[in-house]
Each structure stands twice: as structure tokens, then as C-alpha cells.
Structure 1
Amino acid sequence: MRAFFDSRQRRHAPARELHNGGFTDYAETPARAQSILAAIGGAEAPEDRGLGPILAVHDAGYVEFLQTLAERWAAAGRPGDAIGYVWPVVGRRPLRLDRIDALIGRYSFDASTPITADTWTSAYWSAQSALAATHAVLDGDRAAFTLCRPPGHHAGADYYGGYCHLNAAAVAAQAARNAGKAKVAILDIDYHHGNGTQDIFWARGDVFYASLHADPATDYPFYWGHADEVGEGDGRGATLNLPLPQGATLDAFRRAQGRALEAIAAFGAKLLIVSFGADTYIGDPISAFRIETPDYAIFARDIAAAGLPTVIVMEGGYAVDALGANVASFLSGF
């Protein structure tokens, strides 16, 4: 299986994040990528397909904000990484605000996703890696893997959070649609719900979004991912959320994933994007499922049995020492 990654994706390296009421070391470190690359034997560098495929998913004002935030933060005399501290209450009227703190609040939803001088570069090449894997599959490969670091599924069309800035899975799905795939499905199997991906395709009937994840009644991102969220308008019925309790093991995970794959088959998808998070691992420091390393090969085989051309997009996974083995297990099973 071909794999894609650009070395510039390592540059994004915030010093700290706000977690559970205090500052702590940033969990989504460049070491994650190194662990995966060492386990899978490296990856190809993607070509640069430009901003067009990103702007097909993300708001142009938001993209310009990401490109310039670090410079504007420094110009305001702020040291260190850019972190927000104020967000608008839901339902407040939109305002044109130029102060950098207000803009961060406008375009983000948490304080755990700092932006550095290198964030845009790393996020841009993460999206390009996803596009490379997508085009490999569109050109005839059965499957391809993209090491998206930083990850993407929490990023919406015009907001970032959850360590995510550009939504690589959504960019990949839209690229497949633009290439002529009539129906595309996204299967999100990260520990956390992919709120950004859901929001991007919420009112669309051409991209099916299925997610199994920790119950948002107890886990981040809390405000998305409940079972009654099914889409609206043309997208009504094209969103399927299957929340699981903390402590879920392989059997529960496979049952939920089986339901998702049945729904994807009924939808008639012609290409599958898998948002794969290894933070479902029993030893993950910020998650609470009980998936073991050999289990990843088992549910990868279940996905492969669907027989769809598949792009595997890396999302979370923060037990760095075990991350490479977990990813290699999943890819070998697939």
C-alpha cells in the first residue's frame, strides 16, 4: 500500500496546550509522525496541488486567517504560540472584529489548539498528502494511506480545534466528488467524534458520514456526535453517529463498525475515506477505549471486506511509543 507524508508536516510543534484546567505539554507532537514512519517503512512525498482543493472545502476568509495568524500575533507583541481565550456565545450577532484575540475566538472552538509560525505549512502539506493518496486511489490503487499530521477531522469549513486546522478527510472526499465519484462515504473511527467533518457535509446527500466514537455526553467534543444527529435538508439521513461508552472493547467496536459499513453499503458509496484514529488504544493517555494492538488488524479486515476503493487518513493517537505498531497493525490487516 502506498503511503504519503511530507517532512514539512513535522514543523508544527506547539509548546503547550490547555487541558483539564491547566497547561500541559502539547500531545499532538512531531514524534507521532516519526513513530508511524519508522513502523511502516517511510512514505512518499506528495506533489503540490495548490489551494484550490482546500478552498473547495474551507472558507476563504478562514484560510487567509490561518495563513496570517502567526504574523499578526507577533505584530501584536504576543510571545509564544497563539492561543485564544474568548469565544462568542451561541446566537450572538456576527461582527467585523480585527483584534487578534477576537479573530481567534471567531475561527476556533477550544484553547487546546495553539498556532505557531509553522502551523499553516504543516497543515497545508497534511492536506496535500491526503490529496496524493486520494489521487492514487482514483488512478487505480485499491487503497492508499496518508499520514496526516496535524490531523483534521475536528476542523470545520471555517473553524479549528482539537489539534486540527484543515480537514484532510473532507478535502479528500471533495476531491473524489470533483473527480466524478457520484457518492463518497467517510467512516470515522477515531476515539473522538469528527465534528468538523460532520458539519462540512451536514446538509449534503452526496457524502455519507458515519462515526463511531466515545459518547459525547462524557467526552470531547461534547456538543457534536450524539445519536440523534442525522443531517438536514438534502443531507438528512446521510449522517450516522454511533457513540460508545468509555471502556468499549473490540467486540463493541466491531458491532458498531458493522452497522456503519452496512449503512455505507446501502448508501451506494463508490469510494471510502477512513478517518483512522489510534487513540482508541487501551494505553492512549487522553482516551478511554480498550482496543489492543492486534485488534486493529481485525477491524481493518472488516473494512477491507467492503470492497471499496479506500483512502486511509490518519487522525489521532497519542500513545507515541505504541502508535507506530498500532498503525502498522491496521494497515497490515487492511
Structure 2
Amino acid sequence: MQTVYSPRHAGHDGNTELQPGAIVPAFELPRRAEIVRARVEAVGLGPIREPDTHDLTIAARVHAPDYLDFLAGVWGRWQAAGRDGTAMPFVWPRPGLRADVPPDDIDGLLGFYAMDAGATFVAGTWDAVKVSHDVALTAAGLVAGGARAAFALCRPPGHHAGARFAGGYCYINNASVAAESLRLAGAGRVSILDIDYHHGNGTQDIFYARGDVQVVSVHADPMVEYPYFLGHADERGTGAGLGANLNLPLPHGTDFARWIDALAVAAEAIRRFAPDVLVVSVGVDTYHGDPISQFRLDTPDYPVIGARLAALGLPTLFVMEGGYAVEAIGENAVGVLTGFEGA
């Protein structure tokens, strides 16, 4: 299995985020990707290559063009306003406020294009976001070209980014861009399976009204967990997408036995949808030692997950998402991949 990776992700570093009660150093660290890459090498998963450069044409099919312009220009506007440090929002539009037109001021723009204060910006953020997008598209190209599987070692992650907003450490929705590229490359149907602890609200937002891309997610119950306002079991899609969205929320404290039962339900839904290719949003913050999560999976469980995914018999693109128990992230994330490979 080839891995696509770029060291340029490290430019997104030193930013802070808002957590309950404090502004703290971001949990989403450059070391996450480096530890995963080192583990890929250590187990001999396969070649590691840098991404090709891609333009934003496909991204503009799943994200609003004005939002992409904002991402590319936010740091320059922040500096032009005489600011330093981390650019983050502090005010958001709510129902009853004008939420249809972006403000002119940088502070208003930051809130307009964000769902939270977790996707913050420093000087190197845009370059890292853009190359993470390139990683996903390059790995998708490998699968479209006939590879059984490929691993997009994306950082920053992407599944909380919606069509017109950032959030949860996510800016461009890498899995969604990859899925769209696979559709354009000839796949009649694509399934996205999100196994991150947190619901991929951005992926759902992007494809909710489409019937050609199925979105299935196994995640923590949003009644008690981020992102709170999306990810419930009754969200089944709308219009052409009705029935193509499946959420499987699970309670705090879920262990592997209960989690793998939910994965079986997800797998059966994917079989019924009969996609030509599978995109897996790989989050390993389901691990019992994760500092911001409440599931109880353990390291030996992740290869089992990979083997279950292999049993679907589909060309598969793995896209890196969350996981913040940094020292364990490599063994856990790569465990999914080696399990898929039968190692």
C-alpha cells in the first residue's frame, strides 16, 4: 500500500485553540503525522511518496469558492489588521442574525466561516491545508488508477469542514474532495465510511442532498459529545440523498465489542449501496487513552477493524483524520492499514 505524505504539514504549528475554560496549545500537533509516517516505515507498509500539486477545481465542487478564497487569504488579512499570534474567531452568526453575507472585517469573517474556535490560523496554515488536499487527491488518483488501496496521510484533517465552514481542526474536507475526484474519474457510486470518534459533520453537510456518495459514520453520540449539532440517527439525507446518509451514534464508554457491532451495521449498509470504491476517514481517537475522547478501544482492535474493511472487497482510500493520544497514534492508525493488508 502506497502512502502519500508531505512534510509541509509542519508549517501549521504553534497555534492555539479555545477549550472549555482556557485558550490552550492546539491538540492537533505536527508530531501526529510524523509518528504515523514513522510507523508506516517501521512496519514496511509500502512506499511513501510526496503528493502531486493540484489546483482547487475539485475542492470548489464540494466547498463554496468564497470559502476557499477566505482560507487562502485569511492570514494576510489578519496581518494587514496589525495582528500577530493565532487568528481565531470570537463571534458567530446565529439564527436571527444576518448569516447570508460575509462581513468585510477580518474578525467578522473568521466567525462567518467557522463553526468553532478549533480551526485556527498561523502563518503556515494555508500551505499545510493546501498540501493536505493535494495528498488526498494524489492518493485518490492511485486508487482510481487501479491500486487496491492507498493511504492519504493528511494533516490537517478534514471531516469537520463543511461546504462553507471550518471547524474541529479541519479546513478543506480531504475525504470529500477525494470522493468527488473518484466520481469524476469514473466511479458511479462512492461510499465514505467515517470511523473517527467525532461525527464527520462536514462530510455529511457536503453530501447530504446527493445520492451518488453515501456517508456512513460510527461515532460518539452528539447529545453528549462534539460536534453536538449534527450526527443523530434520524439524519438520513434529503432530496436525492434521502437514505444515503447513515449515522450510528454510540454512548460514552463504548468498548470494542459494541463498536464492532456498529461497524457490522455500517458494512451491511455499504454493501447494499454497492459502491465502486470506498473512502475511509480514519480517526483513531476511539482509543481508550485519547485525551479528548470517551471510547475504550485498544491497540489490538485496530487491525481487526482493517480486516473487516478488507472483507468489503472494495478499492479503498484511507484518509487520516483524528487521534490525539500522540504516542499511540502511529501503532493504532497503521494497525488499521496492516489489518486491511492481512499482515
TM-score (norm 2): 0.96
RMSD, aligned α-carbons = 1.0
Residues 188, 210 of structure 1: 8 Å contact kept: yes
Q: Give the match for residue 90 of structure 2.
A: 85
Measured in 2, the distance between the counterparts of 1:96 and 1:328 equals 41
> Helix, strand or coil for the counterpart of 1:97?
coil
Post-superposition shift, 1:91? Answer: 4.5
Does residue 251 of structure 2 align to residue 245 of structure 1? Answer: yes
Pick from 286, 289, 306: which aligns with 2:312? 306
Return 184-193 or 252-261, whichever deviates more: 252-261
Measured in 2, the distance between the counterparts of 1:217 and 1:14 equals 31
Residues 151, 314 of structure 1: 8 Å contact kept: yes
Q: Give the match for residue 149 of structure 2.
A: 143
> Helix, strand or coil for the counterpart of 1:290?
coil
Measured in 2, the distance between the counterparts of 1:306 and 1:224 equals 27
Distance 1:96 1:54, change over 3 A: closer
Q: Give the match for residue 294 of structure 1.
A: 300
Residues 102, 112 of structure 2: 8 Å contact kept: no
Alignment gaps of 5+ in structure 1: none
Does residue 65 of structure 2 align to residue 65 of structure 1? Answer: no
Residues 152, 317 of structure 2: 8 Å contact kept: yes
| Amino acid across the alignment from 2:15 | A
Residues 14, 115 of structure 1: 8 Å contact kept: no
Measured in 2, the distance between the counterparts of 1:72 and 1:11 equals 18
Distance 1:164 1:180, change over 3 A: same
Q: Give the match for residue 256 of structure 1.
A: 262
User: Deviations along 1:129-174, whole A, 9 cap, x unmatched?
Assistant: 1111111111111000011100000001110000000000000000
Pick from 45, 48, 52: which aligns with 2:50? 45
Post-superposition shift, 1:96? Answer: 4.4
Does residue 212 of structure 2 align to residue 206 of structure 1? Answer: yes
Measured in 2, the distance between the counterparts of 1:160 and 1:261 equals 29
Count of residue pairs the alignment pairs up: 334
Residues 14, 114 of structure 1: 8 Å contact kept: no
Q: Give the alignment of 1:219-238 within 5 angstroms.
A: 219-238=225-244
Q: Give the match for residue 44 of structure 2.
A: none
Measured in 2, the distance between the counterparts of 1:148 and 1:90 equals 33
Pick from 320, 325, 330: which aligns with 1:324? 330
Residues 15, 121 of structure 2: 8 Å contact kept: no
| Amino acid across the alignment from 1:329 | G
Distance 1:151 1:96, change over 3 A: closer
Does residue 286 of structure 2 align to residue 280 of structure 1? Answer: yes
Post-superposition shift, 1:116? Answer: 1.1
Residues 152, 167 of structure 1: 8 Å contact kept: yes
Post-superposition shift, 1:21? Answer: 2.1
Does residue 113 of structure 2 align to residue 118 of structure 1? Answer: no
Residues 102, 108 of structure 2: 8 Å contact kept: no
Return 93-102 or 297-306, whichever deviates more: 93-102
Residues 149, 317 of structure 2: 8 Å contact kept: yes
Residues 2, 49 of structure 2: 8 Å contact kept: yes
Distance 1:97 1:15, change over 3 A: closer
Measured in 1, the distance between the counterparts of 2:51 and 2:139 equals 8
Residues 12, 116 of structure 1: 8 Å contact kept: yes
Does residue 137 of structure 2 align to residue 131 of structure 1? Answer: yes
Q: Give the match for residue 54 of structure 1.
A: 59
> Helix, strand or coil for the counterpart of 2:24?
strand
Measured in 1, the distance between the counterparts of 2:123 and 2:35 equals 24
> Helix, strand or coil for the counterpart of 1:52?
coil
Residues 102, 109 of structure 2: 8 Å contact kept: no
User: Deviations along 1:79-131, whole A, 9 cap, x unmatched?
Assistant: 21101000011243323410111111110010122111111110111111111
Measured in 1, the distance between the counterparts of 2:101 and 2:332 equals 45
Residues 303, 337 of structure 2: 8 Å contact kept: yes
Residues 12, 30 of structure 2: 8 Å contact kept: yes
Alignment gaps of 5+ in structure 2: 42-46
